């Protein structure tokens, strides 16, 4: 179907049908218009896997490395291949739009959703996201680049107001830049708007961003959709007429094409007709929004060979398994390798101790939109055992600290779970049976507030968890629920229980009240993401006896979310850990195993319960925050074994108080379902580590530029100021070398098992107002000097001249490339950069400006001054400006 036919279809639609197409039909689908052959379109969450329509326990899917992991590869070609594979996964769920990638900037190491995005540097984020989008759309699956824009924190994100200077917004370094790169280079078919206000206005309530910048300046020709519940006003549908811009309601007027999810709220029929009647909206505005939806249907093939929405399928492709493993290993960053403790020579090693809470847990992904049901997950212990169980003795312990019994059956204050990094206890499943005698709980929903009378619905769940969040049939009518089962323990003890619910919630055992949550949870998103805090208690059980477990919960009496789509829901969870497991002194056991091992590997980090959409982190430390028992475990083990290597699985930097005590350190990120195999591949040298840090690694959170102005700092005020301006990440730390705030590890840093020679750096060309193509060309020769194949990442930074009265970063990343070389191989590498690398946004004249003076072009292996290999100078005789 061509453009003429799309226009013809628009002309055949009634006004009511057009209004219907301004919003989704339900949580994941758009409306169909059967009489005209207009099909529905289904979308799915990403960006590290296609989850499908179900939040919890959905159709199994492949789990790919998180975007921060992909950024650490610095590998354009790999990002393209990941995009292609994700397109295939998306189609397996009957979807043709993947909600990703996320390209917002890492402003703070406390960002709960940093793992889902790429980097602190917009060039790195934009370039790799471009390849990711191209890979998706090559398969006729639309990318929805998100969240446009400045969605750097999750605390109060639905109502947050961000104060940001125009220069930081516009500047070639920071917040708009990754979106600009993707829009201009990859031409994405959709883009998702963000929740927060910027300088007092929501994104869809001003013509600046969706109209002037996105469409007029960047020539974006795709569909814009709201983040779920982010549409702020009906008027965002119009085309930005001057008369409409003066009006407070501007959603349609600022060219937001699609409100999600459905059913419509801001673009409900009565709201649209009111705007039409009062002259703030025209039918031509609505036509333009509908046309964008029809063009998207055309681009993804819904008018051709992809008409009806197929059922979701779980397709476990071998090629995807291999790609995930390759990408996960390519992203791992070797941060320390004292006395070449790595790689491990398995043939010369008799005993390896695998310790820590993530040794037998595959921390494959973060929480929130990235959560999915993986086809499978491989943890490090499983990976080592499957490959080397017959060659070397493997010993294992979580290394949990002693936990004293709670003094009261009712939880008063959060207590340490040692190196068990549960935020809420694991599901209560072992020994649990429902009314049919099958494993799991019965859940009964009632219209009453006290779980009495005739139930509206009964379901069974194998987990000790339920929510009405995505149950449209009862979400507005169920006011209470009861989750119940019979429990027959196999061991006697005062076992540990946890409880949480949306509203008042009780846990009863044989009608005896064990835990009561009196009020409502503060934020429903934490519950949906599985990262809620819970009340905890102990209860005595006798082996062989049968107990009735009952959870009663009621609809919250107050709002539990700043977003209407998360408010007003029933949900509850009960967790369980046996007393013997919880209180056993496994740290002592871990130390004993470490003493006897040739090499000790300690696996620490976060899980989706700690690092998730919907929340920012409390501190730049490994959880649990109060006890820091993971840090204590590392120190205790390192004290008895000089060959201690630590593997960290997080999406953010954390404090490393034990760094000087260990021999080796690897950053593993969230590497997807093959996380265990990827780590083992690097540890034993099957893969030479080539990952580089896509962010700076501070020594302490207090050293960051946004300290005191991020996340929980704005919880009550709902206001945050981007006080650092353009000095984000290494742009801030570059001003603090040889000071207390000097970073622990610089942006772009990473070690290898081989050495490289970098020579013959040369620069030709100049920056010029007249050129339309890259102007500066660089060549450099790279040689692998070692006996192992490996990869080097070259980074080009531009140092601008000092300009009186103007603060600029010391240097900015202008280009990068990754070179894979066999032992002894030598290759010449060519890179190009353009005027953008020298320009800054001048707020006084609202143009890009390149000042006269000397510009140093640095060839480096990280942002650290000592890692500059060579440099050249370009002199600009006369300054010039460029239009936006």
The mean pLDDT value for 718-722 works out to 96
According to the model, what pLDDT value does residue 108 have? 98
471 — pLDDT class (breaks 50, 70, 90): confident
Residue pLDDT, tens place only, 335-381: 999 999 999 999 999 999 999 999 999 999 999 999 999 999 999 99
According to the model, what pLDDT value does residue 740 have? 96
Q: In the predicted model, is pLDDT for residue 137 greater than 50?
A: yes
170 — pLDDT class (breaks 50, 70, 90): low
Nearest residue to 112 (alpha-carbon basis) of 547, 682, 620: 620
**Rounded distance between C-alpha atoms, residue 233 and residue 286, angstroms:** 14
The mean pLDDT value for 612-626 works out to 94
In 658-808, which residue ranges form alpha helices assigned H by DSSP?
675-683, 730-733
54: its two tokens: 């179900």
244 — pLDDT class (breaks 50, 70, 90): very low
According to the model, what pLDDT value does residue 418 have? 37
* CATH number for domain 319-402+584-704, candidates 1.10.1330.10, 1.10.540.10, 3.50.50.60, 3.40.50.1700: 3.40.50.1700
| Dihedrals phi, psi of 866, to nearest 5 degrees | -75, -10
Nearest residue to 156 (alpha-carbon basis) of 522, 502, 519, 704: 522
Identify the residue with better confidence: 246 or 734: 734
412 — pLDDT class (breaks 50, 70, 90): very low
Mean pLDDT check: name the lowest of 249-258, 322-331, 697-706, 765-774. Answer: 249-258
- Which residue spans within 512-643 are E strands per DSSP? 512-517, 535-541, 547-554, 571-577, 599-605
Domain borders along the chain are 12-40+201-208+226-299, 319-402+584-704, 432-574, 756-882
The mean pLDDT value for 714-722 works out to 96
Q: In the predicted model, is pLDDT for residue 724 greater than 50?
A: yes
**Rounded distance between C-alpha atoms, residue 154 and residue 160, angstroms:** 9
Report the percentage of the chain scoring pLDDT > 70.
Answer: 94
DSSP per position, 529-557: HT----EEEEEEE-TT--EEEEEEEE--S
What is the dotted CATH code of the domain comprising 756-882? Answer: 2.60.40.10
According to the model, what pLDDT value does residue 279 have? 92
**Rounded distance between C-alpha atoms, residue 93 and residue 313, angstroms:** 6
C-beta neighbour count of 822 within 10 angstroms: 11
Residue pLDDT, tens place only, 284-295: 999 999 999 999
Residue pLDDT, tens place only, 782-813: 999 999 999 999 999 999 999 888 889 999 99
Bridge-based pairing state of the strands 190-193 and 142-148:
parallel
C-alpha to C-alpha distances, 171 to 71, 119, 166, nearest whole angstrom? 21, 16, 8
Furthest C-alpha separation in the chain: 88
Mean pLDDT check: name the lowest of 51-65, 343-357, 519-533, 616-630. Answer: 519-533
Nearest residue to 859 (alpha-carbon basis) of 847, 848, 868, 850: 868
Q: In the predicted model, is pLDDT for residue 173 greater than 80?
A: no
According to the model, what pLDDT value does residue 869 have? 97
Residue pLDDT, tens place only, 545-587: 999 999 999 999 999 999 988 988 999 999 999 999 888 877 8
C-beta neighbour count of 789 within 10 angstroms: 16
Nearest residue to 694 (alpha-carbon basis) of 73, 33, 23, 35: 73
843 — pLDDT class (breaks 50, 70, 90): confident
The mean pLDDT value for 819-848 works out to 92
From the centroid of its chain, how far is CA 614? 11
771 — pLDDT class (breaks 50, 70, 90): low
CB 23 within 8 A of CB 262: yes
**Rounded distance between C-alpha atoms, residue 228 and residue 524, angstroms:** 14
pTM recorded for the entire structure: 0.94
CB 554 within 8 A of CB 504: yes
C-beta neighbour count of 514 within 10 angstroms: 21
According to the model, what pLDDT value does residue 224 have? 97
388 — pLDDT class (breaks 50, 70, 90): very high
According to the model, what pLDDT value does residue 416 have? 33
According to the model, what pLDDT value does residue 239 have? 64
What is the dotted CATH code of the domain comprising 432-574? Answer: 2.60.120.260
* Residues that are catalytic: 227
According to the model, what pLDDT value does residue 417 have? 33
Residue pLDDT, tens place only, 310-339: 999 999 999 999 999 999 999 999 999 999
Q: Per-residue b/e over 491-505, b at no fewer than 16 CB within 10 Å?
A: eebbbbbbbbbbbbb
Task: Report DSSP state, residue 24.
Answer: B
Q: In the predicted model, is pLDDT for residue 524 greater than 50?
A: yes
According to the model, what pLDDT value does residue 131 have? 98
The mean pLDDT value for 271-298 works out to 95
404 — pLDDT class (breaks 50, 70, 90): very low
The mean pLDDT value for 518-534 works out to 86
CB 670 within 8 A of CB 364: yes
586: its two tokens: 């496994």
372: its two tokens: 């999915």
**Rounded distance between C-alpha atoms, residue 140 and residue 766, angstroms:** 39
CB 874 within 8 A of CB 814: no
CB 335 within 8 A of CB 862: no
Mean pLDDT check: name the lowest of 1-15, 161-175, 484-498, 618-632. Answer: 161-175
SS3 letters across 162-220: EECCHHHHHCCCCCCHHHHHHHHHHCCCEEEECCCEECCEEHHHCHHHHHHHHHHHCCC
DSSP per position, 67-82: HHHHHHHT-HHHHHHH
**Rounded distance between C-alpha atoms, residue 708 and residue 714, angstroms:** 9
Q: In the predicted model, is pLDDT for residue 489 greater than 50?
A: yes
In 777-879, which residue ranges form alpha helices assigned H by DSSP?
none
| 182 Cβ neighbours under 8 A, 6+ residues apart | 103, 126, 129, 130, 133, 145, 188
């Amino acid at each position: 179907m061509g453009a003429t036919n799309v226009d013809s279809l628009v002309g055949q639609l009634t006004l009511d049908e057009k209004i219907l197409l301004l919003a989704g039909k339900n949580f994941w689908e758009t409306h169909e218009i059967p009489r005209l052959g207009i099909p529905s379109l289904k979308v799915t969450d990403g960006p590290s896997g296609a989850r499908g329509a179900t939040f919890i326990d959905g159709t199994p899917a492949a789990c790919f490395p998180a975007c921060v992991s992909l950024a650490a590869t610095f590998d354009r070609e790999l990002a393209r291949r990941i995009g292609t594979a994700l397109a295939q996964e998306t189609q397996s769920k009957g979807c043709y739009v993947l909600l990703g990638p996320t390209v917002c900037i890492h402003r703070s190491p406390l960002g709960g959703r940093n793992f889902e995005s790429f980097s602190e540097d917009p060039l790195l984020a934009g370039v790799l996201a471009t390849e990711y989008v191209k890979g998706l759309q090559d398969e006729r699956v639309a990318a929805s680049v998100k969240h446009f824009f400045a969605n750097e924190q999750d605390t109060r994100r639905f109502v947050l107001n961000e104060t940001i200077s125009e220069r930081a917004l516009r500047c070639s370094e920071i917040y708009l830049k990754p979106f600009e790169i993707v829009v201009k280079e990859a031409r994405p078919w959709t883009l998702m708007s963000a929740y927060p206000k910027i300088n007092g206005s929501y994104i869809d309530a001003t013509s600046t961003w969706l109209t002037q910048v996105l469409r007029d300046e960047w020539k974006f020709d795709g569909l814009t959709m709201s983040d779920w519940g982010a549409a702020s006003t009906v008027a965002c549908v119009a085309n930005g007429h001057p008369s409409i811009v003066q009006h407070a309601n501007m959603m349609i007027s600022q060219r937001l094409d699609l409100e999600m999810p459905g059913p419509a709220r801001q673009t409900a029929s009565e709201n649209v007709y009111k705007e039409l009647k009062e002259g703030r909206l025209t039918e031509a505005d609505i036509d333009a929004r509908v046309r964008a939806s029809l063009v998207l249907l055309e681009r993804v093939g819904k008018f051709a060979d992809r008409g009806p929405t197929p059922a979701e399928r779980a397709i476990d492709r071998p090629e995807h398994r291999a790609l995930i493993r390759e990408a996960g290993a390519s992203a791992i960053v070797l941060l320390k390798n004292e006395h070449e403790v790595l790689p491990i020579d398995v043939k010369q090693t008799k005993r390896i101790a695998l310790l820590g809470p993530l040794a037998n847990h595959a921390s494959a992904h973060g929480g929130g939109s990235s959560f999915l049901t993986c086809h499978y997950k491989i943890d490090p212990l499983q990976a080592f055992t499957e490959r080397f169980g017959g060659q070397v003795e493997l010993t294992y312990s979580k290394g949990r600290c002693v936990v004293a019994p709670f003094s009261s059956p009712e939880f008063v204050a959060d207590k340490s779970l040692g190196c068990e990094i549960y935020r809420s206890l694991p599901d209560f499943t072992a020994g649990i049976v429902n009314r049919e005698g099958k494993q799991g709980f019965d859940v009964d929903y009632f219209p009453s507030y006290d779980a009495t009378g005739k139930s509206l619905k009964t379901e069974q769940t194998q987990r000790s968890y339920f929510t009405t969040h995505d149950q449209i049939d009862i979400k507005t009518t169920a006011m209470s629920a009861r989750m119940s089962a019979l429990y027959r323990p196999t061991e006697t003890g005062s076992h540990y229980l946890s409880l949480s619910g949306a509203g008042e919630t009780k846990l009863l055992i044989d009608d005896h009240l064990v835990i009561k949550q009196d009020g409502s949870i503060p934020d429903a998103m934490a519950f949906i993401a599985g990262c809620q805090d819970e009340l905890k208690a102990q209860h005595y059980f006798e082996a062989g006896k049968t107990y009735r477990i009952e959870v009663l919960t009621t609809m919250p009496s107050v709002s539990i979310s700043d977003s209407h789509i998360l408010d007003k829901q029933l949900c509850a969870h009960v967790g369980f850990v046996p007393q013997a497991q919880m209180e056993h002194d496994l740290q002592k056991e871990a130390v004993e195993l470490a003493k006897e091992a040739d090499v000790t590997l300690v696996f620490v980090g976060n899980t989706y319960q700690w690092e998730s959409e919907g929340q920012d982190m409390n501190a730049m430390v490994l959880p649990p925050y109060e006890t820091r028992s993971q840090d204590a475990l590392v120190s205790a083990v390192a004290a008895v074994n000089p060959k201690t290597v630590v593997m960290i699985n997080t999406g953010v930097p954390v404090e490393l108080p034990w760094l000087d005590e260990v021999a080796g350190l690897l950053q593993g990120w969230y590497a997807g379902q093959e996380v265990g195999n990827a780590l083992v591949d690097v540890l034993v040298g099957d893969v030479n580590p080539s990952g580089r840090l896509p962010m700076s690694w501070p020594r302490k959170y207090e050293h960051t530029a946004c300290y005191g102005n991020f996340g929980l700092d704005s919880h009550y005020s709902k206001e945050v100021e981007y006080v650092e301006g353009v000095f984000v990440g290494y742009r801030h730390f570059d001003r603090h070398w040889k000071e207390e705030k000097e970073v622990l590890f610089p942006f772009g840093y990473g070690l290898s098992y081989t050495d490289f020679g970098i020579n013959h750096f040369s620069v030709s060309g100049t920056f010029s107002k007249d050129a339309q193509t890259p102007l500066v060309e660089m060549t450099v020769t790279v040689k692998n000097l070692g006996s192992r194949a490996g990869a080097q990442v070259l980074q080009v930074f531009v140092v601008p001249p000092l300009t009186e009265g103007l603060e600029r970063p010391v240097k900015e990343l202008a280009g990068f490339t990754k070179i894979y070389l066999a032992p002894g191989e030598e290759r010449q590498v060519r890179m190009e950069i353009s005027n953008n690398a020298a320009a800054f946004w001048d707020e006084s004249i609202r143009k890009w400006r390149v000042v006269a003076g000397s510009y140093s072009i640095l060839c480096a292996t990280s942002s650290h001054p000592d890692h500059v290999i060579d440099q050249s100078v370009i002199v600009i005789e006369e300054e010039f400006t460029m239009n936006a």
